[in-house]
């Protein structure tokens, strides 16, 4: 087994201190977080964390169980890159005069799927979204023209075959615990997993 | 001198705690509880403030009063604690609650939290501890970590500086929430009094439900002082992101039963989950129907009477020979409420590889954590065991049981006989425990500290009642014994509490003798003095060529020390005095300290050396 990139998706209550509670679960195991994004979800009071790490699948599985054990965590999923659709957003600040003079801007934008978000006399800011390699390519392209500043967001990801966590999230609103909240991952896979 | 004696009222308080919890769980009448609490509060606040009680339905309380009302509503009667500037408003309010809430002033906050742990472990209720901010709060950390790893239900309440000073390095400010995060099941900082009833309700609910654990509530001084409209206390029954119990999946119960019914050499390992789930009777019925030999982890001790015919002994590093060796011979391993700690499993890659594993646990994160499970049975074992028992075929595995007996005999010959009936002049720890068993009949609560004496006590002490063994298992905290024994006595006031402690560990928290002196908790303190930090010395002897590096420890005159605290005591160093001295200790009305000088370089065997398989257990 090899370490590979996993994206962990955690749904939590919106509580002060929870970021720390989750982050120390990684540091305790000496796992480096490659990228971490947290933001409100579509449900009021529920936040969504997207955390990218390089790890062994077994470690990630156990880690997710431990994360899920935290009182304020509703659910933790982990996925490989194949199981996800994800994007990162990047902003590039470049001197306007150089760009205007030396680059065929419209071509550049089309080629990299970028767009200009600010155009000022002194600088212009482009935005591009995509996978790491894609946003990296645009750095390469802009670097010769005096790239002033660059910033990239953490990953945001959507699970390809998740069957509507939105519905499940709503269940948590109910007073009574919803069925299937603590999932038995082996359920329905009896013979596969439990070859005796 | 205060002379509060431990009486039945505490036991009733504990009963009320359960009743409160059950009432809450059943969704009985939270309103009724709330009104009750509110009217009580009205009376108290009226008395305190000398004002007329406010008209219903709300009443004005300070945050501090609301804290104490919450404790009363949760059935708490005993609090262990230590005051200070940042928790003074709560202590001030406590002054008016003295007839309802007994506060035990310990001598160190670590003593306070260990006492709360001892209380929880013998009463089955949530232990409560108070501490002030800064140093008071940081002194709780060891106990929180201990309670976390041993799943002990606790609510720790700490004072905090004024909210306006948070983050300014104010006097006695520490970031208690962040310091205690990894050592608590949940923690929360209250900065506004109106949050108090709900925060405490949530704290008690989380501490006692599911896999129990410690919860810390940090309350800023302004919130303690602030007056607010108190609408009563509503116990918590639901936290949206918290599922204390997984849903029991019947098909896995069926698969587990099938596996057990088909087994030739089934073997049960049980841990504290049986005790925490109050499932002792269900567990007994389970092993009796299946004719299943069962071995205990240190924390599972006392869940099954020692002399039960299916009880085959202790697991782990200093456990018994047969259960360790046969772990690697059984065909179906059934783990009940235990978590395959590395002290139990030894080397994992050589642990029970031949066996199919059935794991019953309330905590889904425990399944497959250390040992790969064939069939997981998620749930509270109080619910899952009867379901499983119903599907079991009645069996007696007499041939298989015979193997345990056979290996057991080998251990008796190689180790136990000499330990319990030594021919040397020096006394052994084992013979002390043996005579203690004879005198108590297995009825006592045994609290131990950490070291050789702990392992010897766990190996040889007899138990015929549950919740009788209090020890620091997962953290192995020296200094735990004496304060935990004080708390254990409050948790089980009608029972004899014997604290078995090494000369090293006793010197870590001996200041709690002062607590015993002041509050009269009746604890029998048995110091097994080998003049060494014995367990470390044993390792140095076995693994470091006898390089005894700083394990030689001197002791004060313990009897004189006890006397200074008005506690009677004796010290003996010859076998002829042993039985009489233990009897004097047990018969004495009140606390008593007995020091027994034991062999300096005796070792605890058997032993699974670190990094070895359980089957490589050494008899000498
Ligand atoms: C707080 C703490 N510090 C250090 C240790 C490491 N330790 C484990 S056992 C032991 C020796 C205990 O000596 P003593 O209390 O005399 O008991 P004995 O082993 O001699 O019975 C030590 C130092 C520990 N468990 N806890």
Closest residue on chain B to A13 (Cα): B241
Name the DSSP letter for residue B610. Answer: T
| Nearest CA-CA partner of B431 in B444, B440, B421, B441 | B421
B533 lines ligand 1 (CB under 6 A): yes
- Nearest in space to B256 (alpha carbons), one of B303, B296, B292: B292
Enumerate the CATH 3.30.70.260 domain ranges in chain A, comma separated: 4-84
- pLDDT value for B217: 98
Between chains, do B241 and A24 touch, taking CB under 8 Å as contact? no
For residue B352, the 8-state DSSP code is: S
Q: Does B240 touch chain A (CB under 8 A)?
A: yes
Q: Is the pLDDT of residue B26 over 50?
A: no
From the candidate CATH numbers 3.10.20.70, 1.20.1420.30, 3.40.50.261, 3.40.50.970, the one assigned to the domain spanning B429-597:
3.40.50.970
CB B525 within 8 A of CB B463: no
Question: Which residues of chain B make contact with A172, given a CB cutoff of 8 A?
Answer: 240-241
Task: Note whether B162 contacts A: Cβ–Cβ < 8 A.
Answer: no
Question: Residue A72 and residue B365: Cβ atoms within 8 Å?
Answer: no
Task: Give me the residues paired with residue B501 across strands.
Answer: B527
Instruction: Kindly state the tokens that stand for B83.
Output: 């005051």
Find the helix or strand (DSSP H, E) in which B66 lies.
helix B63-73
| pLDDT above 50 for A54 | yes
Nearest of B286, B208, B196 to residue B234 by alpha carbon: B196
| Closest among B446, B415, B449, B417 to B433, alpha carbons compared | B446
Tokens of B487: 């708390």
Which 3 state secondary structure label does DSSP give B345?
Answer: helix
Number of the ligand 1 atom closest to the C-alpha atom of B535:
19
Overall average pLDDT of the B120-140 stretch: 98
The matching CATH number, chosen from 3.40.50.970, 3.90.650.10, 3.30.70.1350, 1.10.10.10, for B59-230 is 3.40.50.970
Residue of minimum CA distance from atom 11 in ligand 1: B533
Who has greater pLDDT, A191 or B193? B193
Tokens of B452: 């050789």
Note whether A195 contacts B: Cβ–Cβ < 8 A.
no
Q: B240 vs A68: CB contact, 8 Å cut-off? A: no
Q: How far is A89 from chain B, CA to nearest CA, in Å?
A: 31
Q: Do A182 and B187 touch (CB under 8 A)?
A: no
Token pair listed for B448: 């131990």
Is residue A185 predicted with pLDDT exceeding 70? no
What integer pLDDT is reported at residue A44 of this predicted model?
A: 85
pLDDT of residue B265 exceeding 90, the answer is yes
User: B439 C-alpha to center of ligand 1: Å?
Assistant: 27
Beta bridge partners of B596: B528, B572
Spatial CA neighbour of B296 closest among B330, B323, B266 = B323
- What is the pLDDT confidence band of residue B606, given thresholds at 50, 70 and 90? very high
B31, pLDDT greater than 50: no
Percent of chain B with pLDDT over 90: 89
Judge whether B59-230 and B429-597 match in fold.
yes
User: pLDDT digit string (tens) for A128-155?
Assistant: 999 999 999 999 999 999 999 999 999 9
- Total residue count of chain B as it appears in this document: 620
Cα of A66 to nearest chain B Cα, Å? 6
The CA distances from residue B458 to A25, B287, B443, B464, in Å, are 33, 22, 15, 14
Residue whose entry in the numeric block shows the structure tokens 């990299």: A112
Tokens at B145, concatenated: 């970590």
Distances (CA, A) of B324 to A7, A77, B346, B420, B617: 40, 37, 10, 21, 7
Contact between B310 and B396 (Cβ < 8 Å):
no
Q: Using CA atoms, how far apart are residues A117 and A125, in angstroms rounded to an integer?
A: 6
- Please report residues of B whose CB lies closer than 8 A to that of A71: 185-186, 206, 239, 241-242
Query: What CATH fold (topology level) applies to the domain A4-84?
Result: Alpha-Beta Plaits (3.30.70)
- For chain B, how big is the Rg over CA atoms in Å? 25
pLDDT at A161: 72
A65 CB neighbours in chain B (<8 A) are 364-365, 369
Domain with CATH 3.30.70.1150 in chain A: 85-152
Superfamily per CATH, domain A85-152: ACT-like. Chain A, domain 2 (3.30.70.1150)
- Cβ-defined contact of A71 to B241 (cutoff 8 Å): yes
How do the domains of chain B map onto residue ranges?
Answer: 59-230, 250-403+611-616, 429-597
Q: What is the mean pLDDT of residues B77-92?
A: 98
- Is residue B452 within 6 Å of ligand 1 at its C-beta? yes
Q: B250-403+611-616 has which fold?
A: Rossmann fold (3.40.50)
Contacting residues for A138 by C-beta, under 8 A, at least 6 apart: A90, A92, A112, A114, A126, A128
Sign, CA dihedral A94-A96-A102-A105, equals: positive
Share of chain B above pLDDT 70, in %: 91
pLDDT exceeds cutoff 60 at B43: no
Distance of CA B354 to the CA centre of its chain: 33
| Position in ligand 1 atom list of the atom nearest CA B429 | 21
């Amino acid at each position: 087994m090899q370490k590979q990139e996993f994206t962990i998706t955690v749904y939590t209550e919106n509580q002060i201190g929870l970021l720390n509670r989750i982050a120390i679960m990684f540091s305790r195991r000496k796992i480096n977080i490659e990228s971490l994004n947290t933001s409100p979800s579509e449900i009021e009071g529920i936040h969504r964390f997207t955390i990218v790490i390089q790890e062994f699948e077994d470690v990630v599985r156990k880690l997710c169980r431990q994360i899920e054990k935290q009182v304020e965590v509703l659910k933790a999923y982990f996925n490989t890159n194949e199981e996800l659709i994800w994007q990162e957003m990047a902003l590039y600040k470049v001197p306007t005069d150089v760009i205007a003079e030396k680059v065929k801007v419209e071509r550049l934008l089309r080629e990299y799927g970028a767009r200009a978000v600010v155009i000022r006399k002194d600088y212009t800011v482009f935005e591009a979204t995509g996978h790491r390699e894609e946003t990296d390519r645009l750095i390469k392209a802009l670097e010769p023209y005096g790239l002033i500043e660059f910033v990239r967001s953490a990953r945001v990801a959507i699970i390809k075959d998740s069957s509507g966590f939105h519905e499940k999230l709503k269940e948590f609103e109910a007073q009574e615990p919803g069925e299937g909240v603590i999932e038995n991952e082996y359920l329905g896979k009896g013979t596969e997993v439990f070859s005796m | 001198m205060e002379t509060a004696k431990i009486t039945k009222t505490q036991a009733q308080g504990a009963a009320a705690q359960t009743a409160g919890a059950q009432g809450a769980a059943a969704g009985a009448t939270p309103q009724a509880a709330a009104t009750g609490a509110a009217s009580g509060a009205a009376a108290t606040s009226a008395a305190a403030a000398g004002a007329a009680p406010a008209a219903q339905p709300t009443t004005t309380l300070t945050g501090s009063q609301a804290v104490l009302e919450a404790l009363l509503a949760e059935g708490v009667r005993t609090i262990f604690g230590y005051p200070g500037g940042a928790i003074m408003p709560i202590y001030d309010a406590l002054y008016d609650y003295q007839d309802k809430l007994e506060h035990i002033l310990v001598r160190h906050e670590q003593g306070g939290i260990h006492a709360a742990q001892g209380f929880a472990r013998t009463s089955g209720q949530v232990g409560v501890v108070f501490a002030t901010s800064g140093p008071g709060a940081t002194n709780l950390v060891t106990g929180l970590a201990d309670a976390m790893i041993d799943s002990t239900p606790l609510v720790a309440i700490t004072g905090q500086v004024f909210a306006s000073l948070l983050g300014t390095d104010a006097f006695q400010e520490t970031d208690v929430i962040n310091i205690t995060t990894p050592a608590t099941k949940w923690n929360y900082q209250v900065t506004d009094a109106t949050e108090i009833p709900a925060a405490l309700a949530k704290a008690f609910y989380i501490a006692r439900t599911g896999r129990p654990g410690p919860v810390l509530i940090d309350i800023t001084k302004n919130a303690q002082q602030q007056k607010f409209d108190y609408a009563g206390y509503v116990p918590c029954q639901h936290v949206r992101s918290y599922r204390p119990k997984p849903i029991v999946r019947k098909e896995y119960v069926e698969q587990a039963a099938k596996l057990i019914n088909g087994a030739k050499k089934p073997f049960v390992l049980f841990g504290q989950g049986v005790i925490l789930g109050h499932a002792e009777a269900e567990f007994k019925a389970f092993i009796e129907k299946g004719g299943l030999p069962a071995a205990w982890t240190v924390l599972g001790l006392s869940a099954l009477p020692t002399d039960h015919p299916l009880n085959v002994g202790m697991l782990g590093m200093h456990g018994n020979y047969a259960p360790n060796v046969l772990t690697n011979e059984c065909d179906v391993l059934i783990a009940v409420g235990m978590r395959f700690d590395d002290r139990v499993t030894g080397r994992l890659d050589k642990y029970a590889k031949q066996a199919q594993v059935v794991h019953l646990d309330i905590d889904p994160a425990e399944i497959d954590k250390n040992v790969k499970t064939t069939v997981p049975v998620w749930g509270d074992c109080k619910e899952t065991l009867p379901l499983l028992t119903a599907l079991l075929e009645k069996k007696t595995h007499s041939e298989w049981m015979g193997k345990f007996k056979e290996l057991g005999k080998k251990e008796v010959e190689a180790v136990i006989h000499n330990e319990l009936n030594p021919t040397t002049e020096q006394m052994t720890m084992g013979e002390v425990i043996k005579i203690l068993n004879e005198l108590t009949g297995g009825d006592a609560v045994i609290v131990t500290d950490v070291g050789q004496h702990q392992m010897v006590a766990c190996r040889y002490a007899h138990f015929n009642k549950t919740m009788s063994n209090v020890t620091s298992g997962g953290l192995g905290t020296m200094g735990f014994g004496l304060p935990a024994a004080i708390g254990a006595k409050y948790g089980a006031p009608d029972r004899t509490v014997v604290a078995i402690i090494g000369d090293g560990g006793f010197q870590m928290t001996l200041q709690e003798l002062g607590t015993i002196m002041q509050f009269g908790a009746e604890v029998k303190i048995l110091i097994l003095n080998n003049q060494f930090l014995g367990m470390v010395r044993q390792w140095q002897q076995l693994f470091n060529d006898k390089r005894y590096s700083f394990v030689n420890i001197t002791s004060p005159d313990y009897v004189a020390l006890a006397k200074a605290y008005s506690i009677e005591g004796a010290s003996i160093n010859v076998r002829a005095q042993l039985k009489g001295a233990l009897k004097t200790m047990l018969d004495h009305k009140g606390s008593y300290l007995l020091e027994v000088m034991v062999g300096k370089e005796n070792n605890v065997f058997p032993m699974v050396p670190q990094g070895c398989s359980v089957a490589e257990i050494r008899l000498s």
